[in-house]
């Protein structure tokens, strides 16, 4: 394997030029915001669209609506989506939000 192929294999996100800012990604995120206006965890708004699989790990899923979840502002986005640190990532954020919905009678 030559050096360029090794680099691209190790840095898959580098092959896509900033997928978060791609037109298709922005369009899909805006559509998700309109169809899911409240936080999946606490029910508040306004929301941030959180990628369940991080874009740096799976850039091909950046515009996939199945990879989005709505989390409110900085409160739930940082605590639930990133475990209190923007560098971390919570893989089962959808399951956590679903478990909380079951225990909230007002969200049924």
- How confident is the model over 21-58, as pLDDT tens digits? 788 888 999 999 999 999 999 888 889 999 999 888 88
Q: Does residue 13 or residue 82 have the better pLDDT?
A: 82
Alpha carbons within 13 A on the beta-carbon side of 56: 4
Question: DSSP code of 80?
Answer: I
Q: How many structural domains are present in the chain?
A: 1
Global confidence as pTM: 0.73
93 assigned to some structural domain: yes
- Residues 6 or more apart from 43 whose CB is under 8 A from it? 104, 106, 107
Residue 6 lies in a domain: no
In a domain, 4, yes or no: no
Nearest CA-CA partner of 69 in 41, 49, 44: 49
In a domain, 26, yes or no: yes
**Domain contains 10:** no
12 in a structural domain: no
Peptide bond into 39 cis (omega under 30): no
Instruction: Assess if residue 13 is contained within a domain.
Output: no
Could you tell me the residue range of the domain that residue 73 belongs to?
Answer: 22-107
Q: Note whether residue 1 is domain-resident.
A: no
Contact 73, 42 (CB under 8 A): no
């Amino acid at each position: 394997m030559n050096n360029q192929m090794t680099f691209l294999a190790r840095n898959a996100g580098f092959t896509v030029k900033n997928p978060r800012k791609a037109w298709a990604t922005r369009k899909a995120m805006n559509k998700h915001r309109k169809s899911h206006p409240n936080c999946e965890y606490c029910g508040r708004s306004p929301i941030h669209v959180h990628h369940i699989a991080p874009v740096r790990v799976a850039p091909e899923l950046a515009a996939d609506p199945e990879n989005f979840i709505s989390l409110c502002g900085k409160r739930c986005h940082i605590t639930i989506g990133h475990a209190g640190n923007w560098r971390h990532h919570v893989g089962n954020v959808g399951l956590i939000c679903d478990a909380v919905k079951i225990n909230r009678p007002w969200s049924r």
